[in-house]
A = this chain, B = another copy of it.
Amino acid sequence: MQQKRVTLEEIAQAAGVSRATVSLVVRKSPLVAGHTRERVEQIMAQMDYVRDIGAARLRNRSSQTIGVIVPNLVNSFFTEFLSGVEEVMARDDRVVLLANSHDDPRRQDEILQRFRGHGVDGVILCPAVGTGPELPGRIAGWGMPLVQALREVGPPTDFAGADYITAVGLAMRHLVEQGHRRVAFLSVSARTSAREERLTGYARALAETGVEDAGIVEADLTWEGAAQSAAQILALHTRPDAVLCFNDVLAAGLMAGLRRAGCEPGRDLAVVGLDDLPLAELTYPPLTSVAMDAPGIGRKAARLLARRLADDAAPPERDIVVPRLVVRDSSPQKV
């Protein structure tokens, strides 16, 4: 099945240039004149040259490939995040390989080993639920540059995320301004740093605003799980007049579940999400949410990794998006 690969020498001969020139073209060096580059690239295409990443890696220790590991693709926040990573990496002529850990640390380990075996230049990781704090140290021991994003474990590494505590505070103050006094929090059940911070934000905002805590309800991160939580929310001893949701997926699912139960979201019970996914405009009523700029976090993570690839001795850096409230119809003034 395997073909003989075209060599740089063969391309050089066909193009009438030196092997060194072909090598510079392959590495996209600015030292080669435009018309020479074009001729060589044309001949490379004609002769179906494929760069042997394995050999290139041994020479210059770069595969121009980076790995991204996300814990799920149900939440389109991760696909938005990924688009930001890809935007920056494409500019640097790097290809992004994505893998889904399904929030399973074992599968995550296997992916990391595979990335390591393939010689990716570095990894952007949103750690799976249950990832031990020692993982970043292990990855560092392999000499593999790492940026954590959205969630983090262990001692500080490069990290890109959003200020969840402020985000929850913005949502809560909005609810208070709209006249709400009893708020419930609909959380994901999975234990992550993102959950911890949002719950910390909730506790602080309760203390700051004097709002009554109607309770914390947990749901699986699926549309259906969120819809089913409506019954629990409506059965809370202290009936809330508003529900603040861990993210927009839960908020959208909850609104569908409330409607099935005969409770009109917005009118009978205010609902606020976090993340401001594109779907927030499409739900009915359109969902009030807090924008975290997922593509922006992706771009930040990509830039942190590019910086780390250029300088592996730089101290760890954090780049955090400032959240922004987006008011829509799901949280009207209380009448």
Interface residues of A in 253-297 (CB under 8 A from B): 253, 255-256, 259, 278-279, 281-284, 286
Interface residues of A in 87-111 (CB under 8 A from B): 90, 95-100, 102, 107, 110-111
Given contacts A98-B99, A110-B95, A223-B278, contact A284 B259 (CB under 8 A): yes
Q: Which residue of B lies closest to A79 (CB)?
A: B73
A113 at the interface (CB under 8 A from B): yes
A118 at the interface (CB under 8 A from B): yes
Given contacts A73-B83, A95-B99, contact A252 B50 (CB under 8 A): no
Q: Which residue of B lies closest to A70 (CB)?
A: B98
Q: Per-residue CB proximity of A54-98 to B under 8 Å, as 1/0?
A: 101000010111000000011010010011001000100001111
A315 at the interface (CB under 8 A from B): no
From the candidates B48, B98, B227, name the one contacting A100 in the complex (CB within 8 A). B98
Bound CA–CA A278/B286 (angstroms): 18
Given contacts A1-B312, A143-B1, contact A281 B63 (CB under 8 A): no
**27 A-B contacts, Cβ less than 8 Å apart?**
A1-B61, A3-B143, A50-B117, A53-B114, A53-B117, A54-B118, A56-B117, A63-B118, A64-B114, A73-B76, A73-B82, A73-B83, A82-B100, A86-B102, A95-B111, A95-B114, A96-B99, A96-B100, A98-B98, A98-B100, A223-B281, A224-B278, A224-B281, A256-B281, A256-B284, A282-B283, A283-B283
